[in-house]
Amino acid sequence: MESASSEILIDGAPFFRLYKDGRIKRLSGTENVPPGLDPKTNVESKDVLYSQEIAQSVRIYVPGTVVTSAQKLPLLVYFHGGGFCIESAFSPTYHNYLNALVAEAKIVAVSVNYRRSPEHPLPAAYDDSWTALKWVASHYIGTGPEQWLNHYVDFANVYLSGDSAGANISHHLAVKITNEKLDGMNLVGIILTHPFFWGKEPVGDEVKKPAIRAKMDGIWRLAYPTTSGSDDPWINPIDDQSFGRFLGCKRVLVCVAEKDVMRHRGWYYCEKLKNSKWGGEVEMMEAQGEDHVFHLNKPNCPNAVAMLKKVAEFINQGKA
């Protein structure tokens, strides 16, 4: 018989394997790259600790033109995806994406690293992301610990964004910011890319196969073992009676992919938001023939380039 240390509880290949003894083996998203000047985009980055207590950092990006301009730039706070279990703010996937986006949009970006499940089950990632956002906001009067944020950021033009699990985090922080105001930070909008939302019952033409729905439920339960299930408001905020009422911004962009199993949730989110008491502006972009987070896996394909330009345009349209 296999020992408990070698028995697989959840085989999430090619992303991870969870063993019965609680160990996780991450099969992707484990590589890190250092910050610095990117010669392709002329974007510079550095890592800064935002919490000594949890030993987590952010990676800050500024375009090469920022040092020669007196004008402060919009800020994008980004939360990486990976099902709350894999990837990091320092992986080449996200480093390359944010270099390209910062260069295209001429913005400052803060990419947040957070503790991951199952070692640190949810709500750890939500708590860490909120801690990071509060740390960023502490720079609004120009006296924070990080000079790039003091000198280069227009805190009247702040956006939250992320892909998959990171999009889920962005939504929840946009709600939290309504109840727990961050002095000096004006959240203009959120950009949700292939958001990780789910629910017990299918919506629209969403997949109905029990095996696929059980797999999605299993991923969520791995991230949040004490969850009430797939209708937990953390994973299914859309069916909450107060949905939209407390969303702390006036602009939303949702990006989905035609072949993504979560595509219908993205459309459902937009429809429900439009019909809620929110009263803001929501935009939708769908990439035909593409799958979940294709833009990270194929950054130079036409659909990925178009999406990058759309995100940059969305941010710059909101400039005060």
Set 80, 139, 292, 295: catalytic member: 292
Q: Is 292 a catalytic residue?
A: yes
- From residue 295, give the alpha-carbon distance in Å to each of 44, 305, 309: 22, 8, 12
Distance from C-alpha of 148 to C-alpha of 66, rounded to nearest angstrom: 10
Q: Is 3 a catalytic residue?
A: no
Q: Is 161 a catalytic residue?
A: no
- From residue 249, give the alpha-carbon distance in Å to each of 69, 79, 269, 283, 316: 28, 17, 15, 13, 15
| Contacts for 175 with CB less than 8 Å, ≥ 6 apart | 237, 246, 247, 248
Task: Quote the tokens at residue 205.
Answer: 């033409």
Set 164, 170, 171, 194: catalytic member: 164
Set 38, 128, 163, 260: catalytic member: 260
Distance from C-alpha of 103 to C-alpha of 64, rounded to nearest angstrom: 8
Provide the 10 A C-beta neighbour count for residue 194: 29
Cβ(194)–Cβ(255) below 8 Å: yes
Q: How far, rounded to the nearest angstrom, does the alpha carbon of residue 259 sit from its chain's CA centroid?
A: 20
Cβ(73)–Cβ(148) below 8 Å: no
Residue type, 153: V
- State the catalytic residues: 164, 260, 292
